[in-house]
Structure 1
Amino acid sequence: QHRLQKGNYILRETDKSGIFHIGNSVDYEKKAEAYRQKTGAYIELDSNPLWSVFDKVIILLNDLRSKKYILSWQLDKMMPKRETVQLAYLYFIPKPHKVIHF
């Protein structure tokens, strides 16, 4: 862990496979910036909207339940948990099944 921080590296778990990948944080930032410029699909936020969005979802779900548009079990299933909710973020990971030659 100390080496990762000292060396400016990022440790990421790859999708679905559970394999870990260590990459240079500068490379990740360059890839992210290039992708944002290329696609125009992302903007950097000045503040974290997570809890505002979370509260709005709770209000909406409770409103749906009070108007009987959803059943109690559906409310329970859809209700987000404060301790596990997180914003999605842009990150790049290699595909572990593809061999990279240096």
Structure 2
Amino acid sequence: YVRLVKRLKHKIRSASLVLQKTDKSKVFHLGTRQHYQKKSNEYMEKTEAYQCLGVNDSLPDLIERTNKYLLDLRLAHWITQKQYELLCVKPSEAILAHLYYLPKTHKPGTPLRLIFSGLQHPTIKISTYIGELLRPLFDKIALKTTTTSGFEVMKQVYEWSTNNLRKETLLCIIDVVNLYTMIPQTEGVLAIKKMLDYLELKQIGGLKIETIIKLSRFVMKNNYFFI
């Protein structure tokens, strides 16, 4: 079995093939590297949301910039010493986020779904920390318009249809294409501020609202990755 796997890996590499898990299915997709590169280039050109930095390694600069930003916030008393130590980046543990694709074999033309793996990205501690503060607030606001399972969807549709369903009623679903790049950075930060203004909160978890906005903006504007 081990020899078979090694031979298979060798054949795949020598033929410049990519064996990849597919999106939303349990099968695998076998394609050429040229195919993936072509699809990737098409996506980048279509969205116009990315800038290629070439072969330069942006990790050291991003680590330094992140730690300096956090230090400036600490010295200005926007964050506490404990928060500074919690969010600070350790150079030995930081890795740039990695972009890869999962083929959507269930759709015509086999488009690709972008996956960002950034568990050790320099800003991951900040985004995780902010996310843990904001997620419960958002979930509470969106409770009545959010479903977490197909059963809940059918239940709500049934309850709605009791008094609202007509012969001419059309039920439809909406698929947002390229959701990741459809929300501009500025509007994303403004959406967070709008939610916090609506809740009339001055601070969350010991962080001032202004600090949360500053950190959110920093994360969005320092989103680097390699392919």
TM bin, normalised by shorter chain, reads: 0.5 to 0.7
- Give 1:43's aligned amino acid: Q
Which residue is equivalent to 1:68? Answer: 77
Which residue is equivalent to 2:87? Answer: 78
Query: 1:35, CA displacement in angstroms?
Result: 0.5
Q: Which ranges of structure 2 fall in alignment gaps of 5 or more residues?
A: 1-8, 108-227
Query: 1:10, CA displacement in angstroms?
Result: 4.2
Higher helix share: 2
**Which stretch shifts more, 72-81 or 87-96?**
87-96
Which residue is equivalent to 2:49? Answer: 41
Q: Which ranges of structure 1 fall in alignment gaps of 5 or more residues?
A: none
- Aligned-residue sequence identity (percent) comes to 32
Structure with higher Rg: it is 2
Partner Cα separation in structure 2 for residue 88 and residue 10 of structure 1 = 20
Q: Does 1:57 align with 2:66?
A: yes
Which residue is equivalent to 2:40? Answer: 32
- Cα deviation, 1:8-53, whole Å, max 9, x if unaligned, reads 24466779xxxx8765322210110111121111222122222112
- Please tell me the root mean square deviation across aligned C-alpha atoms, in Å: 3.3
**Which stretch shifts more, 28-37 or 82-91?**
82-91
Partner Cα separation in structure 1 for residue 88 and residue 75 of structure 2 = 14
Distance change in 2, residues 1:26/1:65 (3 Å): same
- Give 2:60's aligned amino acid: W
Q: Counterpart of 1:93 in 2: which secondary structure? A: strand
Q: Counterpart of 2:97 in 1: which secondary structure? A: coil
How many residues align structurally?
97
Partner Cα separation in structure 2 for residue 13 and residue 71 of structure 1 = 43
Higher relative contact order (CA 8 A, sep 6+): 1
Query: 1:83, CA displacement in angstroms?
Result: 2.8
